[in-house]
Amino acid sequence: MAAGVAVAVVGATGAAGRTTLRVLEERKFPIRELRCFASLRSVGTTVTFRGEPITVQRVEAPAFRGLDIVFCSAGSAQSKEFVPMIRRAGAVVIDKSSAFRMDPQVPLVVPEINGQEAKTHQGILAVPNCTTIVTVLPLKPLHDAGRLRRVVATSFQSASGAGVKGIEDLRQQTLAWARGEPIVPRHFPHQLAFNLIPHIDRFGPDGYTGEEMKLVNEARKILALPDLQISPTTVRVPVFTCHSVAVNVETEAKITAERARELFARFPGLKLWDEPAEHRYPMPILVEGQDDCYVGRIREDLSHPRGLAFWVVGDQLRKGAATNAVQIAELLVRT
């Protein structure tokens, strides 16, 4: 594969798909052939890669013959339909939906944490939920140093986490407010502009949402901690890009704030940004477009002798989706 890889992107016209193309180009992934696919309404349009237009094709079995790696940036229902078909054509699939994440036969990979799992794939590899990736990156060094016992994570998730429709809904709502017009939500269940919506995805019978349970189940799988206690809350916020997470952890061995800063500063995929007296801390407007997740507001918990609190921000279109997927592909071409 190292001489050049035949690659496809399914969902190439969506927010995650376009970002995948951008990251493949930026990281100079060794592509000898690129094919792009999207829904029927986008077939025949073009996307740009390395300055050249690529015509978007229809998703159908013959079109996937001869490919090595396929990035699937479609929804869960589409992935369940497309991925088996792509596998039969002979390609390895890196899927960004929730369709296969909890399948015990499918590696759920964050390369900085469990990249070795990519070697065990049977043709499908899963990219975790974007909020999960942002949250688990700082959890890993804390666990290695002090053994995690409990995690409380409250995520503040941007509009682009809901795709291009979410971005456009927030934009139109904001413009309507500026013009003094009525704000009519088109995609979100409530007005998002200048507001917070304290749920994402459907509620379960226990009051937790599907998005919250993704964090619980996926973090346990990635960290190989099936019994880790996790209490999640998800909030949609009027920010276009980047998810932010307020995290509180309890460890078996005490980790001081200073020790945590040392651990975060040297862990791959993290950037320490923690000078509160100088008003230097992670914010979406600073982290947008970055591949690393930024961590700050690090402090010891006043309510627990082995508790630690911190704030982490990541661009969910990049490290939360596209960059993580491309990093997985880089592991594959090196094997």
Q: Which CATH number characterizes residue 208's domain?
A: 3.30.360.10
| Residues 141 and 41 reside in one and the same domain | no
Burial 108-117 (b: 16+ CB within 10 A, else e): bbbbbbbbeb
| Residues 109 and 209 reside in one and the same domain | no
The pair of three-digit structure tokens given for residue 242, joined into one six-digit string: 């980047």
| Residues 61 and 175 reside in one and the same domain | no
Residue 187 bears catalytic tag: no
% of the chain at pLDDT higher than 70: 99
Instruction: Report strand pairing: 229-236 vs 69-72.
Output: unpaired
- For residue 73, the one-letter residue type is S
Which pLDDT tens digit goes with each residue over 60-83? Answer: 999 999 999 999 998 899 999 999
| Residues 37 and 158 reside in one and the same domain | no
- How confident is residue 335, by pLDDT bands cut at 50, 70 and 90? low
| Residues 122 and 246 reside in one and the same domain | no
| Residues 158 and 112 reside in one and the same domain | no
Instruction: Say which of 36, 72, 130, 242 is annotated catalytic.
Output: 130
Residue 243 bears catalytic tag: yes
Q: Could you give the CA distance from residue 96 to residue 221 in angstroms, rounded to a whole number?
A: 16
| Residues 103 and 149 reside in one and the same domain | no
| Residues 13 and 65 reside in one and the same domain | yes
The backbone torsions φ and ψ at residue 307, rounded to the nearest 5 degrees and listed phi first, read -100, 150
SS (H, E, C) the chain: CCCCEEEEEECCCCHHHHHHHHHHHHCCCCEEEEEEEECHHHCCCEEEECCEEEEEEECCHHHHCCCCEEEECCCHHHHHHHHHHHHHCCCEEEECCCCCCCCCCCCECCHHHHHHHHHHCCCEEECCCHHHHHHHHHHHHHHHHHCEEEEEEEEEECHHHHHHHHHHHHHHHHHHHHHCCCCCCCCCCCCCCCCCECCCCCECCCCCEHHHHHHHHHHHHHHCCCCCEEEEEEEECCCCCCEEEEEEEEECCCCCHHHHHHHHHHCCCEEECCEHHHCECCCHHHHCCCCCEEEEEEEECCCCCCEEEEEEEECCCHHHHHHHHHHHHHHHHHC
Range of the domain at 250: 132-316
- How confident is residue 261, by pLDDT bands cut at 50, 70 and 90? very high
The backbone torsions φ and ψ at residue 175, rounded to the nearest 5 degrees and listed phi first, read -65, -40
Mean pLDDT computed over 246-256: 98
Burial 285-308 (b: 16+ CB within 10 A, else e): eebbebbbbbbbebebeeeeebbb
pLDDT for 1 = 40
The pair of three-digit structure tokens given for residue 151, joined into one six-digit string: 């995690």
| Residues 72 and 121 reside in one and the same domain | yes
- For residue 183, the one-letter residue type is I
| Residues 114 and 229 reside in one and the same domain | no
Q: Evaluate if residue 116 carries a pLDDT over 60.
A: yes
This prediction has a pTM of: 0.95
The total domain count for the chain is 2
| Residues 203 and 325 reside in one and the same domain | no
| Residues 167 and 199 reside in one and the same domain | yes
pLDDT for 334 = 85
Burial (CB count <10 Å: 0-12, 13-18, 19+), residue 330 = middle
| CA separation, residue 49 to residues 14, 153, 196 (Å) | 15, 37, 36
Which pLDDT tens digit goes with each residue over 18-58? Answer: 999 999 999 999 999 999 999 889 999 999 999 999 999 99
pLDDT for 222 = 98
The pair of three-digit structure tokens given for residue 251, joined into one six-digit string: 């460890």
- pLDDT averaged over the chain? 96
Q: Evaluate if residue 125 carries a pLDDT over 60.
A: yes
Q: Which CATH number characterizes residue 115's domain?
A: 3.40.50.720
